């Protein structure tokens, strides 16, 4: 292999390499790291974020940004808890993704009809959605202690949590959609060159709306899992998750300029962030250094993938 191909390889798989390095290091430093329980726990804890990052991948590939998924998460959390208490627990869990889908569609329609950058539009809708969640919950916690509600976040099928299965299924469906379907092709084309996509007869606005709708759906689904797990709905849920999701997508190597990327990359990005956290926990390291370390790792990953590119 020439130096150039090695560099290309490193750039493409930077995130996997860093995960491998981190896993080996943590395995040496702690006996408890390579236990099935620890690994499943990492996945389980991060399933909601991984679901959101998977859908965020499509938004970013199509050339957009969604800063409102944290607030859609809050809306999902509050409304599913409220519906579970006042209507039916199963209905509550079901409605979180439905509401997410609706709010995501609103995002897409606002962006394409007003022709504003998604960055700006979703900052605005983010505040609106969060505001509605606060009003709906009256600023209070909504506890839901029913087995019919908590199974989604706490139950297991075999050794593995239901939440992990949901995440795997969701990521697999999106991967299939991106790689094998007409919709996937159109998503890549919209982010790669919108004018050429339009001239190819693609209704690019519809594709953009669909990616935001999916991001909303994912945030709703993630909130259902999280609320069910902690058996509590509140408007402050999901705060900051939009930035974590975007960080994971970019960390995985999906291009911030659109047109290039993959769902597995974002899952890997989530895992990398999760491993850093997990390392601090099992090593009993000073948590004051956590943000600093995370920031440095993100910077390193970005540096590797940008290195040599002109």
Partner 1 sequence: MTITSAGAPAIRAKDIGVSFSGVSVLRNVTLDILAGEIHGLVGENGAGKSTLGKVLGGYYSASQGELEVFGEKATGWDPHTALAHGVAIMHQELQLVPALTVAQNVFLGIEDHRWGVLRSTEADRLENLMRSSGFSLDPHAVVADLPIADQQKIEILRALARDARVIVMDEPTSSLSKGEVDQLHDAMRKLRAEGRSVVYVSHFLDDILAVTDRITVLRDGEQVATFKTGETEKTDLISAMLGSGKTETPYPPKAVPVRREIVLEAKGIRSAEGAQGASLSIARGEIVGLIGLVGSGRSEIARAIIGADAAVDGEVILEGAPYATRSLAASTDRGLVMVPEDRRKQGLIMTMPVRANMSLPHLKRFSRNGVVNGKAESKRAAELIDHFAVRPAILDGDVSNYSGGNQQKVLIGKWLMENPKIVVLDEPSRGVDVGARQRIHEAICELATSGTAILLISSEIDEVLGLAHRAYLVDSGRIVAEIDPDENDEASVLAALFHYQGAGKMEQPHV
Residue 199 lies near partner 1 (rule: CB under 8 A): yes
CA–CA separation, 273 vs 298, rounded Å? Answer: 9
By CB under 8 A, the count of residues binding partner 1 is 25
Q: Does 189 bind partner 1 (CB under 8 A)?
A: yes
254 lies in the binding site for partner 1 (CB under 8 A): no
Per-position DSSP letters for 20-38, written without gaps between them: HHHHHHHHHH-TTTTSHHH
Tokens for 191? 């982010």
CB of residue 61 vs partner 1: minimum separation in angstroms?
A: 9
Tell me how far, at minimum, the Cβ of 221 lies from partner 1, in Å: 22
Q: 159-188 mask for partner 1 (x: CB under 8 A)?
A: ---------------------xxxxxxx-x
Q: What is the DSSP string of 189-255?
A: HHHH-HHHHHHTT--HHHHHHHHHHHHHHHHHHHHHHHHHHHTEE-TTTTTTHHHHHHHHHHHHT--
Asked if 197 is part of the footprint of partner 1 (rule: CB under 8 A), the reply reads yes
Q: Give the three-state DSSP class for 160.
A: strand
Rule CB under 8 A: say whether 230 interacts with partner 1. no
Q: Which CB atom, from 195 or from 286, has the smaller least distance to partner 1?
A: 195
Query: Please, is 161 exposed, middle or buried when counting C-beta atoms within 10 Å of its C-beta (0-12, 13-18, 19+)?
Result: buried
Decide if residue 201 touches partner 1 (CB under 8 A). Answer: yes
Smallest gap, in angstroms, from Cβ of residue 25 to partner 1?
34
- Does residue 7 touch partner 1 according to CB under 8 A? no
Q: Give residues in contact with partner 1 (CB under 8 A).
A: 180-186, 188-189, 191-193, 195-203, 255, 258-260
């Amino acid at each position: 292999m020439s130096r150039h191909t090695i560099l290309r390889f490193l750039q493409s798989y930077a995130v996997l390499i860093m995960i491998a390095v981190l896993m080996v290091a943590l395995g040496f430093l702690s006996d408890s790291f390579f236990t099935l329980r620890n690994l499943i726990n990492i996945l389980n804890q991060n399933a909601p974020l991984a679901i959101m990052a998977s859908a965020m991948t499509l938004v970013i590939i199509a050339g957009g940004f969604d800063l409102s998924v944290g607030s859609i998460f809050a809306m999902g959390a509050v409304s599913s808890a409220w519906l579970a208490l006042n209507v039916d627990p199963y209905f509550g869990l079901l409605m979180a993704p439905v509401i997410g889908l609706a709010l995501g569609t609103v995002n897409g329609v606002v962006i394409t009809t007003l022709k504003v950058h998604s960055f700006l539009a979703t900052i605005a809708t983010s505040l609106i959605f969060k505001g509605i969640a606060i009003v709906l919950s009256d600023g209070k916690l909504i506890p839901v202690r029913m087995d019919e509600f908590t199974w989604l976040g706490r139950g297991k099928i075999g050794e593995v949590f239901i939440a992990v299965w949901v995440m795997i299924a969701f990521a697999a469906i999106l991967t299939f959609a991106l790689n094998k379907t007409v919709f996937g092709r159109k998503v890549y084309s919209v982010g790669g060159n919108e004018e050429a996509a339009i001239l190819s007869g693609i209704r690019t606005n519809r594709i953009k709306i669909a990616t935001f709708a999916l991001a909303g759906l994912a945030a709703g689904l993630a909130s259902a899992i999280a609320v069910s797990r902690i058996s509590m709905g509140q408007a402050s849920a999901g705060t900051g998750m939009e930035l974590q999701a975007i960080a994971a997508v970019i960390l995985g190597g999906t291009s911030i300029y659109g047109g290039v990327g993959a769902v597995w990359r974002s899952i890997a990005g989530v895992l990398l962030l999760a491993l850093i956290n997990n390392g601090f926990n099992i090593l009993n390291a000073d948590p004051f250094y956590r943000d600093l370390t995370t920031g440095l790792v993100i910077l390193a990953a970005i540096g590797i993938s940008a290195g040599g590119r002109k």
